[in-house]
Homo-oligomer: A and B are copies of this chain.
Amino acid sequence: MSKQANKVKDKTLYTLHSNICKALANPIRIEIIDILSNKEMSFGELQEATGVLKSNLSQHLTVLVSKGILIQRKEGLNAYYKLSTIKVATACQIMREVLIDNIKKQQKLIN
């Protein structure tokens, strides 16, 4: 018999897993991941690209870094961000395919 009592399952992994997935659960953070999918960028460039208020952008970047999705590098006054691994962009891309497939299915229902 395992350490876990019968029928009492350890859900820690599911909680950790969902915590990292929460990083994808916001349109601004999806946009940031999208922009950074193939290059590093500075905070200022991200601000320009997203049009988001700097305090808000900083908060979202903090979330992504804290979950290990982005890596931050500081150089003088500037901060640079990049994906910690291409896997994140891949997972993101697959979820976008699911979205597109669903939209296509809905359109078929209409026609």
Complex alpha-carbon distance, A22 and B18, angstroms = 10
Given contacts A87-B98, A97-B87, A98-B91, contact A27 B17 (CB under 8 A): yes
Given contacts A94-B87, A98-B91, A105-B68, contact A27 B51 (CB under 8 A): no
Considering only residues 10-36 of chain A, those with a C-beta below 8 Å from chain B are 11, 14-18, 20-22, 24-31, 34
A27 partner residues in chain B, CB cutoff 8 A: 11, 14-15, 17-18
State the oligomeric state as a number of copies: 2
Does A30 lie within 8 Å of B9, measured CB to CB?
A: no
**Chain A interface size range:** 35 or more
The CB with the most chain B CB atoms within 10 A, among A17, A31, A101, A105, is that of: A17
Contact A51 B9 (CB under 8 A): yes
A63: interface (CB < 8 Å) = no
- What are 22 residue pairs bridging A and B, where the CB atoms are less than 8 Å apart in the complex? A8-B51, A11-B27, A14-B27, A14-B28, A14-B34, A16-B103, A17-B96, A18-B24, A20-B95, A20-B98, A21-B24, A21-B92, A22-B25, A68-B102, A68-B105, A69-B98, A85-B98, A85-B101, A87-B97, A87-B98, A88-B95, A94-B94
